[in-house]
């Protein structure tokens, strides 16, 4: 049974390793959050030890696939997409040969100790395979583009500050923003697919603006840096960039590895980004005109 995933990854790496644009091989996605399978051996353990035993099976399998993949394709790094830092000691033990630690992190504006822990435990670069902020305020029940942009700008500033040569952990290599456009399918997943639901499905105190103890504040259908318009006859959605889109466009003008890009330059650059507290322009609800193109604005001001 363990050989099946290794064979599949091997076939894919053989097929695609020569494809231009392939950056790396990324294994799994938050598999540590789904350790619910059973076996005779697992069921024989005390309940408190079962997840750890399952995790050992998971990460030892990852380790085998990592090493087999690197043997087949020595020209591309191999990474995993872990859920935060859970089981990082086990990852250090079982995932020998890991080139990049990928992690989905939702801690708010700062990733906290992620950089330092990964440096100390694994000694490899860290890549955020998911991170971001939703664009809906669960307290006011209104879209909140400005707060989403504020969080994303802060997260990227920290990534720049933790990149190589800045005097800090020096292990941040970037990340994948969650997400490009709103996921209208995420609440219920099989019904109301054409409806932009405002249900908050889980709590997270890292996003303090709309966090209330005992209540949910994470709105799964509102994480896009682009909003969606209603679907057309083909089921396709026109996209409307939010304030976060324009803020990130400005953020990425700074090359983190250019001469002179030190902590002071990073701080000045990101401090000057002032996300416009506007709305995604488009007929999402009221038949408004199309949004301006990125070249037309809205423009970002300087403080």
**pLDDT at 286 (0 to 100):** 35
Assigned domain for 218 exists: yes
Are residue 152 and residue 263 in the same domain, yes or no?
yes
Are residue 93 and residue 154 in the same domain, yes or no?
no
Are residue 251 and residue 289 in the same domain, yes or no?
yes
**pLDDT at 41 (0 to 100):** 57
Are residue 140 and residue 259 in the same domain, yes or no?
yes
**Number of neighbouring beta carbons within 10 Å of residue 162:** 21
Are residue 154 and residue 258 in the same domain, yes or no?
yes
Assigned domain for 128 exists: no
**Could you give the number of structural domains in the chain?**
2
**pLDDT at 291 (0 to 100):** 41
Question: Phi/psi zone of residue 279: left (φ > 0), alpha (ψ -120 to 50 degrees), beta?
Answer: beta
**pLDDT tens readout for residues 220-272:** 999 999 999 888 899 888 999 999 999 999 999 999 999 999 999 999 999 99
Are residue 94 and residue 138 in the same domain, yes or no?
no
Determine the Cα–Cα distance for residues 166 and 256; give it in Å rounded to an integer. Answer: 9
Are residue 100 and residue 188 in the same domain, yes or no?
no
One digit per residue, the tens of pLDDT, for the chain of length 303 reads 688 899 999 999 999 999 999 999 999 999 999 886 565 455 565 666 678 888 999 999 999 999 999 999 999 999 999 999 999 999 999 999 999 999 999 999 999 999 999 999 999 999 999 999 999 999 999 999 999 999 999 999 999 999 999 999 999 999 999 999 999 999 989 998 888 999 999 999 999 999 999 999 999 999 999 999 888 899 888 999 999 999 999 999 999 999 999 999 999 999 999 887 545 655 544 333 344 443 333 333 222
The residue range of the domain holding 94 is 1-104
243 CB-side CA count, 13 A: 24
Are residue 145 and residue 233 in the same domain, yes or no?
yes
Which residue, 85, 104, 123, sits at the end of a domain? 104
**pLDDT at 228 (0 to 100):** 94
**Number of neighbouring beta carbons within 10 Å of residue 152:** 25
Q: What percent of the chain has pLDDT over 90?
A: 76
Contact 161, 263 (CB under 8 A): yes
**pLDDT at 37 (0 to 100):** 59
**Number of neighbouring beta carbons within 10 Å of residue 154:** 15
Determine the Cα–Cα distance for residues 101 and 6; give it in Å rounded to an integer. Answer: 19
Q: What percent of the chain has pLDDT over 70?
A: 86
């Amino acid at each position: 049974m363990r050989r099946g995933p290794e064979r599949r990854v091997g076939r894919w790496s053989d097929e695609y390793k020569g494809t231009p644009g392939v950056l790396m091989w990324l294994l799994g996605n938050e598999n540590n959050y789904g350790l619910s399978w059973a076996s005779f051996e697992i069921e024989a353990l005390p309940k408190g030890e079962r997840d750890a035993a399952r995790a050992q099976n998971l990460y030892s399998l990852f380790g085998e696939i990592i090493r087999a993949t690197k043997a087949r394709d020595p020209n591309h790094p191999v990474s995993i997409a872990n859920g935060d830092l859970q089981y990082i000691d086990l990852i250090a033990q079982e995932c020998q040969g890991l080139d990049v630690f990928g992690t989905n992190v939702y801690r708010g504006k700062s990733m906290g100790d992620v950089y330092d822990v990964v440096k100390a435990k694994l000694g490899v670069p860290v890549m955020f395979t998911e991170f971001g902020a939703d664009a809906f305020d669960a307290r006011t029940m209104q879209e909140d583009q400005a707060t989403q942009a504020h969080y994303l700008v802060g997260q990227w500033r920290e990534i720049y500050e933790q990149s190589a040569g800045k005097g800090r952990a020096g292990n941040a290599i970037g990340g994948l923003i969650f997400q490009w456009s709103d996921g209208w399918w995420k609440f219920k997943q099989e019904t109301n697919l054409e409806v932009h639901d405002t249900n908050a499905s889980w709590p997270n105190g890292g996003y303090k603006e709309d966090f209330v103890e005992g209540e949910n504040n994470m709105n799964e259908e509102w994480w896009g840096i682009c909003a969606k318009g209603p679907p057309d006859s083909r089921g396709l959605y026109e996209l409307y960039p939010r304030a976060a889109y324009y803020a990130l466009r400005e953020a990425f003008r700074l090359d983190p590895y250019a001469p002179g890009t030190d902590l002071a330059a990073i701080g000045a650059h990101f401090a000057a980004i002032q996300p416009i507290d506007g709305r995604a322009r488009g007929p999402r609800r009221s038949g408004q005109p199309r949004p301006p193109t990125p070249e037309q604005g809205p423009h970002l001001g300087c403080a």
